[in-house]
Chains A and B, each alone.
Chain A
């Protein structure tokens, strides 16, 4: 009996610690996060609750801060690319593309058409993967675990494609200043179109599971509403802005790469609530698939590979180990896969600019030609390196979450003087307290999920 009383007293004291008396009412302070099952990413939301109503809230970020900008000031221009992978880790290729486009703007570099198309294809693949992750995770938090698994399945098809091209599933680091790491592998078109067919199926299934689902609609519709005026004032971009009815898309408003040649639509919502954000994302995936299909029709083809005449490097090594010599050793040509960094010198000009101040010479030339070797060393040696002209540029691209901008300052040195990233979800998340004010605690979860916060780009 006595113990029970003590327990009760302890409990009362504990409660009082977290309670605020405001206007005679008891308000409860609750920390949601930093490690909360529905906080994908590490973030803390401090909620001030009256019963189950959110009276006030504050968002605390910075748990994933890794000094991206400071680190980049101490890296070479090309060395920054792997760090950009870690910004939005759901769609790293878009970050790669955004960064190199900014540097190319600084240089005034022109890149070959094939390279532009490949960048578009890869960006759109990454965008679909990102939207699938967002929708899957948001649905899972509302109990729709099946959708999550389906979305992950579809994402896996896309990751396989990315792996074929870049060699990595997530941290791709695929682009280079003035070009790409490597060309598309043989048979990539058919493989992609097949995978996209399967993704379309998954999108259909997701529609069937969620769009008409009563539970899902009840949780999403009319929750987390933002007016278009508010959205613009808070700096919303991407699906969150478009869900309010504002048709701003960087790909249409300020076209880069070859987006102006593509035929696609900007899906917009009406109410700016969670359900519209979900629908906008679903429709954007369909549009991205359209862009990829068009890009495959329009992409200039690379030089034909003379299949059958070459040996694979591994085969030659095997033969050499056994002491064998190929019969046609005088005319022998090695078959290098397109995805290898040292692809044939003739073919690398399809995907890389020929500007010698920014792009490395092909490996083949470097090993056989003294000028190319010197050029190579000039670009990679300490205190030489790639040196863009002095100046400052801002380049925005449409990332999966909205406008991803890179602001670069160059002092004409081999290292950037300043790199600043404008992460799309930073501005959106700063408005979260406004979005969840007056809602229930349970509504915080879908609202937060539909923002698609990515810790990597938020905290940098």
Chain B
């Protein structure tokens, strides 16, 4: 990409060890960072007065089957005061599909992380209640992985026992 935006430059200078690459395709600023630095970078972006990304808009993932690392967890964050948007991408290996949970930074990350776990099988460390959200508990596999067949059929599940605890 031709010109780096000021925002990307700023983050790059602040975290030279964590930033892997950057791009701004169609003016969407994107920063790819190492997963070790996720929490640190996010906390900084949320609190620093030059960025003030106070809202977590979305968390999702992409399965790049056949390339290494296989997964990318994608965070969209938004600064309400400065009217800025930023996309943070975190590459995740298939063998070690684990990322730090950012529920401690934004409580709204809770369900989004559960959805990514449900659909891609990526584990979020220190998540308060990591379990399936859209699929049922007995479901096997993670449907949005590219190697999950489109028309896979499952047998009917057994009636669950009535539990006293939820």
| Cross-chain contact A407 with B26 (CB below 8 angstroms) | no
B interface footprint on A414-429 (CB within 8 Å = 1, 0 otherwise): 0001101010001101
Give the residues in chain A near B85, CB-CB below 8 Å.
Answer: 254, 394
| Cross-chain contact A105 with B26 (CB below 8 angstroms) | yes
| Cross-chain contact B26 with A422 (CB below 8 angstroms) | no
A interface footprint on B52-83 (CB within 8 Å = 1, 0 otherwise): 00111110101100000000001010001001
| Cross-chain contact B107 with A61 (CB below 8 angstroms) | no
| Cross-chain contact B134 with A65 (CB below 8 angstroms) | yes
| Cross-chain contact B108 with A427 (CB below 8 angstroms) | yes
Give the residues in chain B near A426, CB-CB below 8 Å.
Answer: 111-112
Stretch in B3-11, B12-20, B36-44, B158-166 with 4+ CB within 8 Å of A: B158-166
User: Residue A50 at the B interface, CB < 8 A?
Assistant: no
Assess A69 versus B57: contact at CB under 8 Å? Given A394-B76, A430-B108: no
Q: How far is the CB of A112 from chain B (nearest CB, A)?
A: 20
Q: How far is the CB of B83 from chain A (nearest CB, A)?
A: 5
* Neighbour of B107 across the interface among A65, A74, A108, A234, CB < 8 A: A234
| Cross-chain contact B58 with A422 (CB below 8 angstroms) | yes
| Cross-chain contact A459 with B87 (CB below 8 angstroms) | no
| Cross-chain contact B150 with A61 (CB below 8 angstroms) | no
Assess A393 versus B135: contact at CB under 8 Å? Given A407-B74, A422-B76: no
User: Residue B25 at the A interface, CB < 8 A?
Assistant: yes
Q: How far is the CB of B75 from chain A (nearest CB, A)?
A: 11
Give the residues in chain B near A18, CB-CB below 8 Å.
Answer: 164
* Neighbour of B111 across the interface among A46, A67, A430, A460, CB < 8 A: A430
Q: How far is the CB of A64 from chain B (nearest CB, A)?
A: 9
Give the residues in chain B near A67, CB-CB below 8 Å.
Answer: 143
Give the residues in chain A near B134, CB-CB below 8 Å.
Answer: 61-62, 65, 459-460
Give the residues in chain A near B162, CB-CB below 8 Å.
Answer: 17
Q: How far is the CB of B32 from chain A (nearest CB, A)?
A: 12
| Cross-chain contact A253 with B166 (CB below 8 angstroms) | no
| Cross-chain contact A17 with B164 (CB below 8 angstroms) | yes
User: Residue B100 at the A interface, CB < 8 A?
Assistant: no
User: Residue A268 at the B interface, CB < 8 A?
Assistant: no
User: Residue A248 at the B interface, CB < 8 A?
Assistant: yes
Assess A235 versus B57: contact at CB under 8 Å? Given A393-B26, A426-B111, A427-B108: yes
Give the residues in chain B near A430, CB-CB below 8 Å.
Answer: 108, 110-111
Give the residues in chain B near A74, CB-CB below 8 Å.
Answer: 150
Give the residues in chain A near B60, CB-CB below 8 Å.
Answer: 407, 420, 422
* Chain A positions 280-331 with a Cβ under 8 Å from a chain B Cβ: none
| Cross-chain contact B55 with A70 (CB below 8 angstroms) | no
| Cross-chain contact B150 with A418 (CB below 8 angstroms) | no
Q: How far is the CB of A95 from chain B (nearest CB, A)?
A: 16
In the bound complex, CA of A234 to CA of B56 (Å): 8
Give the residues in chain B near A460, CB-CB below 8 Å.
Answer: 134
In the bound complex, CA of A219 to CA of B166 (Å): 29
Which residue of chain A is the closest to B149 with respect to CB atoms?
Answer: A70
User: Residue A20 at the B interface, CB < 8 A?
Assistant: yes
| Cross-chain contact A391 with B62 (CB below 8 angstroms) | no
| Cross-chain contact A233 with B25 (CB below 8 angstroms) | no
User: Residue B133 at the A interface, CB < 8 A?
Assistant: yes
B interface footprint on A99-113 (CB within 8 Å = 1, 0 otherwise): 000000110100000
In the bound complex, CA of A422 to CA of B58 (Å): 6
| Cross-chain contact B58 with A407 (CB below 8 angstroms) | yes
| Cross-chain contact A233 with B28 (CB below 8 angstroms) | no
Which residue of chain B is the closest to A396 with respect to CB atoms?
Answer: B57
| Cross-chain contact B56 with A61 (CB below 8 angstroms) | no
Give the residues in chain B near A409, CB-CB below 8 Å.
Answer: 62
| Cross-chain contact B110 with A420 (CB below 8 angstroms) | no
Which residue of chain A is the closest to B55 with respect to CB atoms?
Answer: A232
| Cross-chain contact B108 with A391 (CB below 8 angstroms) | no
Q: How far is the CB of A105 from chain B (nearest CB, A)?
A: 5
Which residue of chain B is the closest to A69 with respect to CB atoms?
Answer: B144
Give the residues in chain B near A427, CB-CB below 8 Å.
Answer: 108, 111-112
CB<8 Å pairs between A and B, sample of 15: A46-B166, A62-B134, A62-B135, A69-B144, A70-B150, A108-B26, A232-B54, A253-B83, A254-B85, A396-B57, A405-B57, A407-B60, A417-B62, A427-B108, A460-B134
